[in-house]
Amino acid sequence: MAKKKNVEHVQISLTDFIDYVSKIGTTKFTKVKEIKNRDPYHPAFDFWKPLREKIVEIHKENKNKNLLNEVMNGLTDKNKINLYPHLITQYKSFLGKKKLEWIEPPFADWKMNDLRIKINPEVGLFINDKPYIIKLYFKSESLSKSKADLILLMMNENLKKGDFIDANFAILDISKKKLYENSSLNSIHLSLIEGEALSFLKIWDSI
């Protein structure tokens, strides 16, 4: 969600920011324009919300993974009806017979001048007694390694502290059952993120 004009700061999701960073040339301008002109967030238009919340529910309440299928009950959106089943199957397959225990995941806002980026992984789990904080990726198009690296960098730099210093931060591409947990980037690359944030704000102010 991006806040509109006449506010003290601009707030966007980590996914939107990484999408922006991954753009080239004038497509960066197009991405910022898309975010700025987007309607305010409303749960009814959050396509993945029912599935995302069901995943969190089964873990927090230690329910059987097969209860994920319940999210299909009452769905009327044809796109959800078409896309959800594959993701449900893949997520259950990823869980397999792993020993799981819920951890409440941390969250934070990363700030650069007037820009606020929400970093909020959805799932925290001990997986076979190893702590994981996981950002879920629902889209059907594959998550690129470069995007995964940037997301992992942001999570590690902002959330790996306190009770989570020993946690493994990861991104799960659900459709591909691929867990990214090792970034080729480190704190040295934060200047890239900072520069991109400043350019985002410059474009935002010009629109």
This prediction's pTM: 0.89
- What pLDDT shows up at residue 8? 66
Task: Report mean pLDDT in 10-residue bins for the chain, 207 residues.
Answer: 57 93 94 92 84 97 96 94 97 96 96 95 97 96 91 94 96 96 86 94 95
CA nearest to 34, candidates 52, 8, 49, 13 = 13
172 DSSP β-pair partners: 136, 179
Domain ranges in the chain are: 10-206
> Which residue blocks in the chain are alpha helix, DSSP H?
14-22, 26-37, 49-60, 78-95, 145-159, 190-206
- What pLDDT shows up at residue 1? 45
- What pLDDT shows up at residue 118? 94
- What pLDDT shows up at residue 101? 97
